[in-house]
Amino acid sequence: MSSRLSTPNPQLNELGKIKHFLTLEGLKQHHLLEILDTAESFINPKTNEIKKVPILRGKTIMNLFFEPSTRTRTTFEIAEKRLSADVASLDIATSATKKGESLLDTLWNLQAMQAHMFVIRHAESGAAHFFAQHVAPHVHVLNAGDGQHAHPTQAMLDMFTIRKHKGDIFDLKVAIVGDVLHSRVVRSQIQALSILEAREIRVIGPKTLMPTHPEAMGVHYYDNIEEGLADVDVIIMVRLQSERMKSALIPSEKEFFKLFGLTKQRLALAKPDAIVMHPGPINRGVEIDSEVADGPQSVILQQVTYGIAVRMAVMSIIMSNAAQLAQHESEQASLALDVDNEEEAP
Amino acid sequence: MTELDIDVNELLDNISAQLRDKAVLDKSPKMIGIRTGGEWVAQALHQRLGLSDALGVIDISFYRDDFSKIGLNPTVKPSDIPWEVVDQHIILVDDVLYTGRTIRAALNEIFDFGRPASVTLVTLLDRQGCRELPIQADVTGMTIKCSQTLKVSGPEPLTVSILDHSEEPA
């Protein structure tokens, strides 16, 4: 029976394919490559244009943002519309939950409106997992950022951007600079880079903005940005998440820039063709100098464009996997029927 | 079962001759091949006819009508039409016309790029008798029976062999 094939990873279906997209943890290299390759198919290689395609026509996707977001929410909406899905975006923080409705009641009501997929952003780590545990079997959950836990589509669009500029990731040295402690993006980036077997992953920043044992994540830790940037292919700057800092972890933003801000001089320490990335929103003069953010090595705005294609890829793969699973199950059912008939034959 | 190799050059000559008789060739047409087999045939025809505009290629995977049954084609690649479709006379090329569903998908995709002035359908082979949609080719190199299946390989050399199952017992 299908239980023989089932895996403990709640993100995967009985065939080992992605059913919910909650975190990169536990996914295999082939899952990630499938997302990157599919994203590639949505982009015209010459013009970078992303055309609308009809594959999710008749499917309803709801964006549930319990936490404010402009970029992520907008790129999700555009991605959904480019796949021809019907889209509803709900700013939950200001509606139902204020009236005292529980999270699950909200979820079940929205499910009753025949949603096929929920895209969820929530300030609590684990919120997307919670939703995935409670949705109906035909409904899919996609994590658009939960607390300090994960932001898997952001990490995948970063991998896509790196691959577009630098080719295969296993050859590359990647430095992630800034607030590693509070960043769900960094956690997902490190998982993605590890799964794709990047040659070296470095994290750079003050000890106060690092987990207690950064090495446990399979990275090299540098508290000196000049040493950390030496000879890297990719620099990922991370926003200082002042809103998540409960105490004074850095003396001041000015001081942070002096010690860890990415300037033209520091960028020169990396490989000459290194690219500079940032998941946004950028704090100019806090973690990155305008001269670098707007400079020729910056690919920050391309990340945003590629985010559309990568989110289209994740959503179409999830729906494709669901279709293939349904087909598989109906084949199994008809096989079982044949076996029954044979047994009944004289 | 019998296997029969087809002279592809003869079919391409045949198609070129038929196209030269058509008014569309006087209207500086542009050509689109359907990936993968149709692209190969289109490359060969494009060269024979000496068309000046670059060949367009479409991948109809995202336009198939059986996504909810079989999901995504894992080898899908971006379509590339390197000119404006609007008001152009288009020669759409595929290798084999069978149920007509591929051509339906291709027409939908072309119209998402713009409204062409006309579309002329060219297929190397036409398996007649299994159409599921009201779609016919304007020009075809050879007509075969629905019971005959085909193996098309390419791009260089482009070869076609016909596998005839009609003599087999049911």
Determine the Cα–Cα distance for residues A278 and A156; give it in Å rounded to an integer.
13
Question: Is B80 in contact with A44 (Cβ distance < 8 A)?
Answer: yes
How far does the CA of residue A197 sit from the closest CA of chain B (Å)?
Answer: 23
3-state secondary structure of A51: coil
Nearest CB among A45, A321, A322 relative to B78 is that of A45
Identify the sign of the CA torsion A247, A252, A253, A257.
negative
pLDDT digits (tens, 9 = 90+) for A224-236: 999 999 999 999 9
3 state DSSP class of A80: helix
A324 CB-contact burial (10 Å; exposed 0-12 / middle 13-18 / buried 19+): middle
More confident residue, B167 or A108: A108
Q: Looking at the complex, does the CB of residue B63 fall below 8 Å from at least one CB of chain A?
A: yes
Tell me how close the Cα of B25 comes to any Cα of chain A, in angstroms: 28
Q: Do residue B71 and residue A324 have CB atoms under 8 angstroms apart? A: yes
Q: A322 with A17: CB under 8 angstroms?
A: no
Q: Give the strand pairing for B30-34 and B89-97.
A: parallel
Task: State how far residue A342 is from chain B, nearest Cα, in angstroms.
Answer: 22
Q: For A159-197, how does the pLDDT look when each residue is reduced to its tens digit (9 = 90+)?
A: 999 999 999 999 999 999 999 998 999 999 999 999 999
User: Is the predicted pLDDT of residue B98 greater than 60, yes or no?
Assistant: yes
Token pair 């894992």 is found at B74
Nearest to A257 by CA among A176, A178, A175: A178
Instruction: Tell me if A320 and B108 make a contact (CB, 8 A cut-off).
Output: no
Q: Does A272 touch chain B (CB under 8 A)?
A: no
Q: Is the pLDDT of residue A1 over 50?
A: no
Task: Pick B69's closest partner by Cβ from A38, A54, A323.
Answer: A323
* Alpha-carbon span B32 to A230, nearest angstrom: 49
Lowest mean pLDDT among A39-48, A254-263, A336-345: A336-345
> A4 pLDDT band (50/70/90 cuts)?
very low
What's the confidence (pLDDT) of residue A96? 53
Confidence of residue A280 (pLDDT cuts 50, 70, 90): confident
Q: A69: number of CA atoms within 13 Å, CB side? A: 29
Confidence of residue A46 (pLDDT cuts 50, 70, 90): confident
pLDDT in tens, B118-154: 999 999 999 999 999 999 999 999 999 998 888 899 8
Q: Does B170 touch chain A (CB under 8 A)?
A: no
The answer, for B114 touching chain A at a CB cutoff of 8 Å, is: no
Indicate if the pLDDT at residue A344 is higher than 70: no
Look at residue B34 in the predicted model and tell me its pLDDT. Answer: 97
Q: Nearest by CB to B70, from A34, A38, A324: name it.
A: A324
> Hey, which residues does A177 pair with through a beta bridge?
A204, A237
Residue A321, chain B, CB below 8 Å: the answer is: yes
Binned at pLDDT 50, 70 and 90, residue A2 comes out as very low
Q: Does B83 touch chain A (CB under 8 A)?
A: no
Tokens linked to A177: 């600079």
- Residue B101's contacts (CB-CB under 8 Å, 6 or more residues apart) are B64, B65, B132, B133
Contact (Cβ atoms closer than 8 angstroms) between residue A270 and residue A232: yes
Catalytic residue among A59, A73, A151, A182: A151
Using the beta-carbon criterion (under 8 Å), do B69 and A327 form an inter-chain contact?
yes
Query: Any catalytic annotation for residue A166?
Result: no
Spatial separation of the C-alpha atoms in residues A30 and A212, rounded to whole Å? 31
pLDDT in tens, A295-312: 999 999 999 999 999 999
Check residue A92 and give its pLDDT.
76
Q: Does B80 touch chain A (CB under 8 A)?
A: yes
Which of B72, B77, B112 is nearest residue A316 as measured by Cβ atoms?
A: B72
How many cross-chain Cβ pairs, A to B, lie less than 8 Å apart? Answer: 51
Q: Residue B152: in which H helix or E strand, if any?
A: strand B148-153
Using CB atoms and an 8 Å cut-off, which of residues 28-47 of chain A contact chain B? 34, 37-38, 40-46
Binary contact (B72, A55; C-beta < 8 A): yes
Looking at A31-40, A133-142, A242-251, A283-292, which range is the least confident one? Answer: A242-251
- A151 given a catalytic annotation: yes
pLDDT at A193: 98
Contacts of residue B108 in chain A, CB cutoff 8 Å? Answer: 54
- Mean model confidence pLDDT for chain A: 91
ipTM over 0.90: no
B52: contact with A, CB 8 A cutoff: no
A138 pLDDT more than 90: yes
Cβ-proximal residues to A338 (8 Å cutoff; 6+ apart), any chain: none
pLDDT at B109 (0 to 100)? 96
Amino acid at position A342, single letter: E
Distance CA A148, CA A241 (A): 11
Average pLDDT over chain B reads 92
Q: Exactly one of A20, A23, A59, A72 is catalytic; which is it?
A: A72
Q: Over range A124-145, report the average pLDDT.
A: 95
pLDDT band at B2 (very low <50, low <70, confident <90, very high): confident
The predicted-structure confidence for A63-87, as pLDDT tens digits, reads as follows 999 988 888 999 999 999 999 999 9
Residue of chain B minimizing CA distance to A315:
B72
pLDDT higher than 70, residue A257: yes
Q: Which of B63, B77, B82 sits opposite A54 (nearest CB)?
A: B63
Is A71 marked active-site? yes
Q: Which pLDDT does position B168 carry in this prediction?
A: 55
* Residues constituting chain A: 346
